[in-house]
Structure 1
Amino acid sequence: MTASTEKAPRDLVLTEVGLRDGLQLEAATIPTTVKIELAVAFDQAGYRRIEVGSFVSPRAVPSMADTGAVMDALRGRVRAELQVLAANVRGVEQAAAAGADVVNIVVATTETMNARNAGCTVDEAVGIVEKASGRGDELRVAAIIATAFACPYEGPVEPEVSLGLVDRVVAAGATRVTLADTVGAAHPAAVAQLVARTRERHPGLDLGFHAHDTRGMGLVNALAAVEAGVDGLDSSLGGLGGCPFAGKGAAGNVASEEVIGALDDLGRPPGVDLDRIAACSAHLEDLLGRSLPSRRLALFRATGTAR
């Protein structure tokens, strides 16, 4: 293929999910002021999307009880798109009232995971996407296809199941869809296949990928998704986080420093300052009082740079 016929790389947008997916399982309380400071630091480092938190029951996820306060402090202060997660219609209403740009709604591929994660059926979860999309306001709706490759309760998920669910949430009004390897069970070939088939069926869709690192494949899966044509990747400071219903042994998200560093090295710089994000991860690691799994963070600690 000659240079004149090669396709230009897609504009890749990274989403920092550390404030929501990263912190939601933590027993340690991170002050609201620190969350705000971190979000501002993400914005200054070059992130164009930040997942600020979630509007869910504070009894179920107490670490997210201050999402509204964080949103209040960030509106008009950052340039990045601010997104939140909602588990039901009430959460969608709270997201709209808080001035979120995007609300993420999780729709898992299996009935068991939907019941455990959101207390609803697959049909009901798709219905939340439809109701949120039909509000008629400026709130944009994104769907996260959880357990897109495997479910901790029902086992491997066939690609046709995930593809069918993508079809349903797009028909329901989702303007962005993220394929999530919730339990870290995928491998690069499976990721590339599902991304390519989704792209073929929905060529204009804003398509993302969300990796977990349970089997040490999070980064290579994320890079496989980029090669296959996704528009965005999720990642979390230091590799923090995870789903509370992902089962025993499930690990956190792929680390932001590792994603940014790898993309820089491969000539696909995402426009986010690697060392500034590594410094944020180091600060959060200190606050939590324990080591985070990111290898680039360990390098930053040892040498003063994550490069």
Structure 2
Amino acid sequence: MRFEFAPQVKLRDVTLRDGLQLTGKLLSTEHKIETVRKLLQMGVPALEIGSMARPDKVPPMANTLEVVAGLTPEELKRCWIWVATPRHIQMAAEAGAKNFQYCFSASDSHNKANIGRSTEDSLDAMPAAAELSRQAGGNIQLCIATSFTCPFEGEIPQDRIINIANDERTHGASDIVICDTLGQAVPAQVANLISRTRSETPQREIIFHGHDTWGLGVANTLAAVSAGATTVDGALGGLGGCPFAPGASGNTSSEDILFATRPDWFTPGVLAEMVQPSESLLTNLDEPNRSKTVQGARSRADAFEWVMPQPVTTG
């Protein structure tokens, strides 16, 4: 029997951007492209595949433009690139990108550490970024990092997020991404901010980007979905974190989000298939697999359909 868990929610896997940021290791262009294609073929609706951050600041993003150039236009329709300036959009669009996540922080301190400018400066540049996105025939998202807490300033007032979302300089964005950058929010906070964003700001698709630092990644994701988020971010094996946010750890695991929400395309067979590229990538990076779903799928509770078959051994 199949139940409807949260059929309206979509996963965007961010392994190849947010997932790689803290690893310090550059995956080959070929490995990244292979991972993109495997996840798209499995049915993952959307992917974040790289960042225009400076390679000297975030080395694992150095080959982002090569990855974009190696994908087909059809594949790129489901892929997003992290950008922070109009110039970033211009460069990514020239390589073939169509979807841009324009990101800045709600707190000045984190924005200066992450991007090297004030939040107000990022807001001032957004209309030009939106225009370049439009000229490229693409889409642009408003992504607000540190929507709940900042490693330098502490808790961020929710009104700060609502005011940014209502600022006319952000009105060119089709979507809004609410980020629990440090993974310090709790479900009630997430539900309240997502609900306020839905009811008090321009009508846009709402994306929730969570981290599992304090073990509430899936709970916060489900709270966001219940409050109106229609897309949620995750990374394979819970990989990731922000290099400019002390205290942040991995993203919420994509496998755990999928197991909790059960979209129609995600079956026990797809889970078993997803483990291979996930573990190949994590092994390459010398990173552990933090997904509770993958741990559970490797158990010996054979009566549960989500448990993967045990390998046959011979004596």
Task: Give the TM-score of the pair, scaled to structure 1.
Answer: 0.90
Q: Is 2:184–2:213's contact at 8 Å kept on the other side of the alignment?
A: yes
1:217 aligns with 2:216: yes
Identify if the C-alpha distance between structure 1 residues 306 and 118 changes in structure 2 by more than 3 Å, giving closer, same or farther: farther
The 5 Å alignment of 1:235-250 reads 235-247=234-246, 249-250=247-248
Give runs of ≥4 in structure 1 deviating > 6 Å.
none
Tell me how many residue pairs correspond in the alignment: 295
Q: Would the aligned equivalents of 2:85 and 2:126 in 1 still touch at CA under 8 Å?
A: no
Q: Distance in 2 between matches of 1:290 and 1:302?
A: 21
Alpha-carbon deviation of 1:280?
2.1
Give 1:169 deviation, angstroms.
6.6
Which residue is 1:251 aligned to?
Answer: 249
Counterpart secondary structure, 2:73 = coil
Work out the CA distance in 1 between the residues paired with 2:285 and 2:66.
21
Give the distance between the partners of 1:231 and 1:296, measured in 2 at CA: 22
Query: Is contact 2:26-2:60 (8 Å) kept?
Result: yes
Residue deviations 1:147-192 (CA, integer Å, cap 9, x gap)? 1111110010111111111112774411111100001110000100
- Over aligned residues, Cα RMSD in angstroms? 2.1
5+ residue gaps, structure 1, are 1-8
- 3-state SS in 1 of match to 2:75: coil
Q: Which residue of 2 aligns with 1:292?
A: 289
Residues 1:162 and 2:161 are matched in the alignment: yes
Q: Deviations over 1:217-274 (max 9, x none)?
A: 1110000001111110000010000111211x3211000000000112xxxx263433
Looking at structure 2, the residues matched to 10 and 45 of structure 1 have their Cα atoms a distance apart, in angstroms, of: 17
Cα drift, residue 203 of structure 1: 6.2
CA deviations over 1:186-212 (Å, ceiling 9, x no partner): 000010000111110236311110000
1:80 deviation in Å? 5.2
In structure 1, the partner of 2:116 is: 119
Amino acid of the structure 2 residue aligned with 1:52: I
For residue 179 of structure 1, give the secondary structure of its aligned residue in structure 2. strand
1:141 aligns with 2:140: yes
Measure the CA separation in 2 of the matches of 1:171 and 1:290: 37
Instruction: Tell me how far apart the structure 2 counterparts of residues 241 and 129 of structure 1 sit (CA, whole Å).
Output: 26
Shift of 1:96: 1.2
Deviation, structure 1 residue 38: 0.4
* TM-score, scaled relative to structure 2: 0.87
Indicate which of 68, 71, 74 corresponds to 2:68.
71
The one-letter code sitting in structure 2 at the alignment partner of 1:252 is: G
Alpha carbons 1:16, 1:256 under 8 Å: kept: yes
Aligned partner letter, 1:60: K
Of 213-222 and 194-203, the range deviating more from structure 2:
194-203
**Shift, 1:278, TM fit:** 2.6
- Indicate the larger mover: 160-169 or 181-190: 160-169
- Tell me which residue corresponds to 1:62: 59
CA distance in 1, matches of 2:307, 2:62: 33
How many percent identity over aligned positions? 34
Match of 2:313 in 1: none
- Alignment of 1:47 with 2:41, yes or no, is no
**Which of 165-174 and 231-240 deviates more?**
165-174
Tell me if the contact between 1:210 and 1:234 (Cα under 8 Å) persists in the aligned partners.
yes
Report what 1:3 is aligned to: none
> What's the secondary structure of 1:291's corresponding residue?
coil
